Amino acid sequence: MNLIQRIHGQGQGPAHTHDESETHSHGVPFWVRHYDMIVNLITFGRTKTIHRETLSLAGLRPGDTVLDIGCGTGALLLEAENTVGPEGTAIGLDVEPAMVEQARRRAGKSHSRATFGVASIDQIPYPDDTFDVVFSTLMYHHLTESQKGAAFSELSRVLRPNGRLIMVDINPARRNILTSLPGHSQVEREDYVRSEVTERMQIAGFTVVEEGAHPSKQLSYAIGQKV
Ligand SMILES: C[S@@+](CC[C@H](N)C(=O)[O-])C[C@H]1O[C@@H](n2cnc3c(N)ncnc32)[C@H](O)[C@@H]1O
């Protein structure tokens, strides 16, 4: 399995398993330790800009409670934490324990109060009406058909009334570098964020308040509001 397939969880079986031969002494695999650098290379050094563009779509306010589901190494959430401030709450969840471990390390280094946990989008371990804003970036294309249906019900359940769901994923219609990477044959089709994702949002009871090309043109976004 190549590096890109590992990053995108292709054919790994249970998401929390990993090859011990690729693990360094602290238990975090090589590809997770270098995930941020790899993504930054793939995006031509624009990772921070993409995160800021995504955050500006969300209209976060100081004091908000925010969840990043499929948070990876936590980079977006730590930026979000700067906006929600000390009165707010920033929580990251990811199904891959090594990602969560790496996110915790990163948070520790920056003296962040954000918390991270291992969980899947179709079973979010928080009560109803907990979050003002939920982000899901570059993770939708990982999900199986049955997870997709359950995911939107869960996201609706944990959002507060009028809470917003911001989903960002690859826009394959633009035939960009991301869709030509190995392990991405499953996303080489139409702009699924603006079609499939918005449809699923509506089925789950969200009002789609905005959708379109992300300022980073390789991506699309959709924003749903819980009624
Ligand atoms: C391509 S990475 C994106 C990470 C981060 N959101 C970003 O934008 O850089 C996809 C992440 O989604 C996580 N993931 C995949 N399936 C998931 C699921 N069912 N529930 C939660 N996280 C999942 C993976 O472990 C991985 O960290």
28 found inside a domain: no
- Ligand 1 site residues (CB inside 6 A) read 7-9, 15, 39, 69-72, 76, 94-96, 99, 120-121, 137-139, 142-143, 147
Q: What is the pLDDT of residue 188?
A: 54
pLDDT 10s digits, 45-60: 899 999 999 999 999 9
Q: What is the pLDDT of residue 129?
A: 98
Ligand 1 centroid, distance to 203 Cα (angstroms): 23
30 found inside a domain: no
Provide the domain count of the chain: 1
pLDDT 10s digits, 116-131: 999 999 999 999 999 9
What is the enclosing helix (H) or strand (E) of 93?
A: strand 89-94
Atom of ligand 1 nearest to the CA of 147: 19
Cα–Cα distance measured from residue 106 to residue 79, given in angstroms and rounded to the nearest whole number: 12
Average pLDDT rounded to a whole number, residues 67-89 = 97
Band of the pLDDT at 12, cuts 50, 70, 90? very low
Band of the pLDDT at 21, cuts 50, 70, 90? very low
Q: What is the pLDDT of residue 14?
A: 35
Ligand 1 centroid, distance to 135 Cα (angstroms): 11
Alpha helices, H only, 13-74? 30-33, 35-42, 47-58
89 found inside a domain: yes
* CA-proximal residue: ligand 1, atom 12 (nearest): 70
pLDDT 10s digits, 153-163: 999 999 999 99
Residues spanned by the domain of 135: 46-226
Q: Which of 94, 143, 154 to mutate to test the pocket of ligand 1 (most atoms within 8 A of CB)?
A: 94
Paired sense of beta strands 206-213 and 219-226, if any: antiparallel
* CA-proximal residue: ligand 1, atom 13 (nearest): 70
| More confident of the two residues 58 and 13 | 58
Ligand 1 centroid, distance to 69 Cα (angstroms): 7
Report the predicted TM-score, pTM, of the whole model to 2 decimal places: 0.86
Paired sense of beta strands 65-69 and 131-137, if any: parallel
CATH code of the domain covering residue 153: 3.40.50.150
32 found inside a domain: no
203 found inside a domain: yes
- Of 17-26, 36-45, 90-99, 149-158, least confident by mean pLDDT is 17-26
Classify residue 24 by burial, with Cβ atoms within 10 Å: 0-12, 13-18, 19+: exposed
Ligand 1 centroid, distance to 120 Cα (angstroms): 9
170 found inside a domain: yes
156 found inside a domain: yes
